[in-house]
A = this chain, B = another copy of it.
Amino acid sequence: MPIPAETFFLSGDREATLQQQIQQVIAEAILSGRCLAGEKMPSTRHLAQHLGVARITVTNAYTDLVADEYLVARGRSGFYVSDSAPQRPVLTPEARAGVVPLDWSRKLGQRFSDAMPVLRPANWSDYRYPFIYGQTDPKLFDHANWRACAIRAVGRKDFDSLATDHYERDDAMLVEFLLRQILPRRGISARPEEILITMGAQHALWMTAQILLTQRRTAVLEDPCYPGMRHILNQSRCQIRNVAVDGWGLPPDAIPPEADVVFTTPSHHCPTNVTMPLARRRDLLARAERDGFVIVEDDYEFEMSFLKPPSPALKSLDRAGSVVYMGSFSKSIFPGLRIGYLVAPEPFITEARALRSMVLRHPPGHMQRTTAYFLSLGHFDAQIARMARSYRQRRAVMEQALRDHGLLDAAAEETFGGSSFWMRAPEGVDMGQVALKLRQSSVLIEPGEAFFAGGAEAKRHYRLAYSSIPAARIEEGVALIARAIAEAQEEA
């Protein structure tokens, strides 16, 4: 198939003849790498028709380009981009002669690229010992059934759900299933007006911050906490108070009186994995009622409570309507899905729906409907059970390895399962340095510093996840980590 004639336009250069203009644009296309060696050019007739010029003009341009070795003519079959076509120097000039390029550094009104925390390299799966968090293990994912659901969701019967502009609405089947089956497992009963589908938990957190916070309001963050959360609040320019968590999560007594919004992860604190006990949850809610602050509950990893049954969500105890609740399928199905949900009183959901609509309209109908099928056909529960079995096994292997290598006593003890250990190295060890060094041995770990607001203790911490590493490699990986820490300790 030749390069479509429609991809060429006259350069519009008033100093040049039509033929010269044609030569310019074709040469430019070849130089810029858009047309590659060996590709067939449009026929002279097609190109002439498209550009509205005489065919002889195109023929003459082609002939000149052959002379310049941009093109080769192959008898009757036409013109091709030459294998020996001129190449542009690798450094393309920023602008053409006589033009002053716009100074973009002065045009950017707001910057977002500054402090984005990155915890792992994009090519993590090339590493032999990836102790990293939140990525899918292809072996645990029920690809066959997901595929069957996706095929069903793209069928003729579901055309509307796939193709239609949903405006502000969500997929009714998905909402229904969440209300009737998923939320009740967390002890939550809600009306359809109190739920909104989001592009994952990140999107839910971001919207919540936009709606609840201004420069004059105060947000309370757990310390340590999910780095993406702190990034969002830094961007929103609200006041931030960091409250250190203890062995039972966020201590309600430490919440300052000026708090407007409190962000918390009671089911599994991120990253320490501790679970907030029921008594503390009641205290937190009572305090919210008394002081009038909003609680944002990220119900992080509740599905992964394989060591004890999960406790109901904070939201299930929320009698005054103080809690904005969010969940996600990114960890339990796969991160590329980008489907999560918000549950909150209707006035909040109304604003979130309008904000979502302004920013992106709605999550794609196809992804919502596929998720609805995957949930309603029971595949989700089966997958959770399979993951829990596997994580339980990996966790046991890991616990043994950590014990054998003298690392376990330093780990915070958690009690509900999860997919990672939150660890602390001996005093003076900088786990950021250790993590970088471990990459040379094909080991990936997550340094803990990014989770903290600051402080000298931060560098000692690290997270070891077992969601992406096969059980058989855990022992070797832990041995390498233990050795690297011991070496760092000697140097310190």
Contact = CB atoms under 8 A, between A and B. Distances in A.
Interface string A111-149: 111101010001000000000001110100101001100
A322 B179 contact: no
A165 B336 contact: yes
Interface string A32-64: 101000000000000000101000000000000
Interface stretch (A207-215, A400-408, A433-441, A484-492): A207-215
A321 interface: yes
Given A289-B100, A366-B367, A334 B6 contact: no
Contacts of A77: none
Interface in A194-212: 199-200, 202-203, 206, 210-212
A48 to B, nearest CB: 13
Interface stretch (A356-364, A422-430, A472-480): A356-364
A309 B48 CA distance: 13
A218 B351 CA distance: 26
A86 interface: no
B29 A189 contact: yes
A154 interface: yes
Contacts of A167: 118, 122
Interface string A11-37: 010000000000000001100101000
A438 B37 CA distance: 59
Interface in A69-108: 92, 94-96, 99-102, 104-105, 107-108
A360 B107 contact: no
B143 A189 contact: no
B109 A320 contact: no
Given A163-B334, A364-B338, A110 B211 contact: yes
Contact of A102 (B100, B156, B165, B321): B321
Interface string A281-297: 01000000100101000
A159 B181 contact: no
A235 interface: yes
Interface in A332-379: 334-338, 345, 347-348, 350-351, 353-355, 357-367
A159 B52 CA distance: 46
Contacts of A107: 212, 260, 294, 348
Interface of A: 4, 6-9, 12, 28-29, 32, 34, 50, 52, 92, 94-96, 99-102, 104-105, 107-114, 116, 118, 122, 134-136, 138, 141, 143, 146-147, 150-151, 154-156, 159, 161-167, 169, 179-181, 184-185, 187, 189, 191, 199-200, 202-203, 206, 210-214, 217, 228, 231-232, 235, 260, 278, 282, 289, 292, 294, 309, 312, 316-317, 319-322, 330, 334-338, 345, 347-348, 350-351, 353-355, 357-367
Contact of A351 (B94, B108, B294, B335): B108
B217 A358 contact: no
Most buried by B among A99, A113, A185, A231: A113
A336 B185 contact: no
Nearest to A378: B1
The complex is assembled from copies of this chain, and their number is 2
Contacts of A141: 163
Most buried by B among A29, A95, A289, A366: A366
A202 B361 contact: yes
A236 to B, nearest CB: 9
A316 B115 CA distance: 33
Contacts of A206: 358-360
A231 B294 contact: no
Nearest to A106: B292
14 contacts: A7-B184, A9-B187, A12-B317, A34-B184, A50-B309, A99-B320, A107-B212, A107-B260, A108-B212, A112-B210, A112-B355, A151-B154, A228-B358, A231-B358
A156 B181 contact: no
Contacts of A12: 278, 282, 317
Contact of A345 (B104, B199, B358, B364): B104
Contact of A213 (B109, B138, B165, B232): B109
